[in-house]
Structure 1
Amino acid sequence: MPLTFEVIAEALREQIRSGGLRPGDALPTQAVLMREFGASSLTVQKAMTLLKQEGWAVSRPGKGAFVAHHDHPDGTHDLDGPDVTAPADGTTARIEALERALAEAVQQIADLRGRVEALELGGGERGR
C-alpha cells in the first residue's frame, strides 16, 4: 500500500496528466491538501518535495507551488520523460545535495510545527 505522501503526489500527477492542472497553474495549498487527504503538514510537504524533485512542480517563494513548464520545440509537453529536468554537465550531484538538504530542512520545520501544535493543543503545559 503506497504511503500517503505518495498517494497525494500521484493524485496531483494525475490531475496534471489529465489537464485538470496545466503548466503554470497554482497547485493546491498545503492546507487544502491536508484537509482533502486527512494528512499532516509533514506528509503534504513530503509529497510536494517529491513532485519538485521529479520536475512536476516548481516553487515561487512567497507565492506557492506551481505546475512546471515542460515545453518542447514541437510544442508538446512531456511530463513523464526521465530526462525532462536533467541538469547540464556536472550539476546533477550539486542539485541532488541541495535537494537532500532542503528535504532535511523541511523535515525539521515540520517537526517543529508539530511540537508547537502539540503545545498549543495541550494548553501550553510543558514537561508534565
Structure 2
Amino acid sequence: MGTEGGGVAGVMATRRGRRPAVGGVQLTFEVIAETLREQIHSGRLKPGDALPTQTALMRKFGASSLTVQKAMALLKQDGWAVSRPGKGAFVAHYDQADAHDLDHEEVTAPAAGTAARIETLELALAEAVQQIADLRGRVEALESGGGGRGR
C-alpha cells in the first residue's frame, strides 16, 4: 500500500473510475483540478482557504465557464473542495496526519452519502451539457459553411 511512485501515483489515483484521457493527455478540466490539488497538497492552499474564483480560473487556463465548473465538480466529488452557497468554493478539511499519502481513499474522499451522489450527478450533467454545446457548435459551423446549397 506504499506510494513508491511518488507524484505519479497521486495522479493515477485521481483518475480512478473515470474514462481515460484521450491519448494519455489530460483534458482541460482535469488539468485545472490537478493544479488545484497540487496547491492543496503543497500547502499553498490550506483547509478552509477560498479557492480561486471561476473567473480567475477561466483567465488563468483560457477555459470556458463550463470547463471550470467541471473541474470544481471533480474536486468536490473527490473531497478536495466544498461549496458554501453565496460565498464560493473552499479547500475541504482532511486529516493532516494522512495528508502525505494521497493514495488512500479516506484522504481524497471525505464527502459521503447524498452530497457525494449529488456532486457525481452534477459532474455527469456538466459533461452532458459540454457535449451538447460541442454538438451545437458543430451544427452551426456546418450550417454556416453550407448555407447556399440548392439555390
**TM-score, reference length from structure 2:** 0.59
Where does residue 40 of structure 1 map in the other structure? Answer: 64
Where does residue 118 of structure 2 map in the other structure? Answer: 98
Shift of 1:44: 0.2
What residue identity is the alignment partner of 1:63? K
Shift of 1:95: 4.6
Where does residue 43 of structure 2 map in the other structure? Answer: 19
Taking the aligned partners of 2:94 and 2:50, their CA distance within structure 1 comes to: 15
What residue identity is the alignment partner of 1:37? F
Where does residue 4 of structure 1 map in the other structure? Answer: 28
Taking the aligned partners of 2:80 and 2:71, their CA distance within structure 1 comes to: 11
Aligned match for 1:55, one of 60, 63, 79: 79
Shift of 1:101: 3.3
SS for the counterpart of 2:106 is coil
Q: Highest Rg: 1 or 2? A: 2
Aligned match for 1:67, one of 91, 101, 105: 91
Aligned match for 2:105, one of 68, 72, 82: 82
What residue identity is the alignment partner of 2:59? R
What residue identity is the alignment partner of 2:83? S
Q: CA RMSD in A?
A: 2.9
Shift of 1:100: 3.6
Where does residue 125 of structure 1 map in the other structure? Answer: none
SS for the counterpart of 1:59 is strand
- Describe the shift of the 1:25–1:106 C-alpha distance in structure 2 as closer, same or farther (beyond 3 A): same
Taking the aligned partners of 1:3 and 1:62, their CA distance within structure 2 comes to: 28
- Aligned-pair identity in percent equals 60
Runs of 5+ in structure 2 lacking a partner?
1-24, 134-151
**TM-score, reference length from structure 1:** 0.69
Taking the aligned partners of 2:31 and 2:92, their CA distance within structure 1 comes to: 19
Taking the aligned partners of 2:121 and 2:44, their CA distance within structure 1 comes to: 32
How many residue pairs were aligned?
107
Give the helix-richer structure, 1 or 2: 2
Runs of 5+ in structure 1 lacking a partner?
115-128
Taking the aligned partners of 1:110 and 1:95, their CA distance within structure 2 comes to: 23
SS for the counterpart of 1:58 is strand
